[in-house]
A and B are shown apart, each in its own frame.
Chain A
Amino acid sequence: MSARRIFTRPARIAAVAPYLWMSLFFLVPFVFVLKISLSQTAIAQPPYLPVFDLASGWQALVAAFSALSFDNFRLLASDQLYIQSGLRSLTVAITATAMLLLIGYPIAYAMARLPRRWQPVAMMLVIVPFWTSFLIRVYAWINILQHDGLLNKILLALHIVSTPVVWLSTDTAMYLGLVYSYLPFMILPLYATLAKIDPALLEASADLGSSPLQSFWLITVPLSLPGVGAGVLLCFIPIVGEFVIPDLLAGSDALMIGQTLWLEFFTNRDWPVASATAVLLLVILLLPLLIYDRFQRRQMGRA
Chain B
Amino acid sequence: MNARPLAQMSRFNIATLAMGLAFLYLPIVVLVIYSFNASQLVTVWGGWSLRWYQSFFNDQAMLAAAAMSLRVAAVSATLATVLGTLAAVALTRGERFKGRTLFSGMLYAPLVMPEVITGLSLLLLFVALGAERGFWTVTIAHTTLTMCFVTVIVQSRLGGLDRSLEEAAMDLGCNPVRAFVAVTLPLIAPAIAAGWMLAFTLSLDDLVIASFTTGPGSATLPIRIYSEVRLGVKPEINAICSLIVGSIAILIVAASLASKLSSGRGQNAAPM
Contacts and interface: CB of A to CB of B under 8 A. Distances in A.
Interface in A1-41: 3-4, 6-12, 14-15, 17-19, 21-23, 25-30, 32-33, 36
Contacts of B103: 15, 18-19, 22
A173 interface: no
A15 B86 contact: yes
Given A18-B86, A139-B241, A110 B94 contact: no
Contacts of B114: 237-238, 240-243, 258, 281, 285
Interface string B255-272: 010000000000001001
Interface residues of B, number: 95
Contacts of A134: 205, 207
A228 interface: no
B117 interface: yes
Contact-residue bracket for chain A: 35 or more
A125 to B, nearest CB: 6
Contacts of B14: 110
Contacts of B124: 29, 32-33, 36, 271, 275
A14 B155 CA distance: 13
Contacts of B78: none
A46 B127 contact: yes
A29 B3 CA distance: 51
Nearest to A30: B121
Interface string B86-129: 11011011110101000100110110111111101110110110
Interface in A107-156: 107, 109-111, 113-118, 120, 122, 124-129, 131-137, 139-144, 146, 148-150, 153
| Closest A-B pairs by Cβ, 5 of them | A241-B114, A11-B94, A29-B121, A15-B90, A11-B93
23 contacts: A3-B171, A10-B176, A11-B92, A15-B87, A15-B97, A15-B103, A17-B82, A19-B87, A25-B141, A109-B13, A109-B16, A125-B24, A136-B225, A137-B28, A144-B27, A146-B43, A187-B20, A237-B114, A242-B114, A265-B120, A266-B211, A278-B120, A282-B117
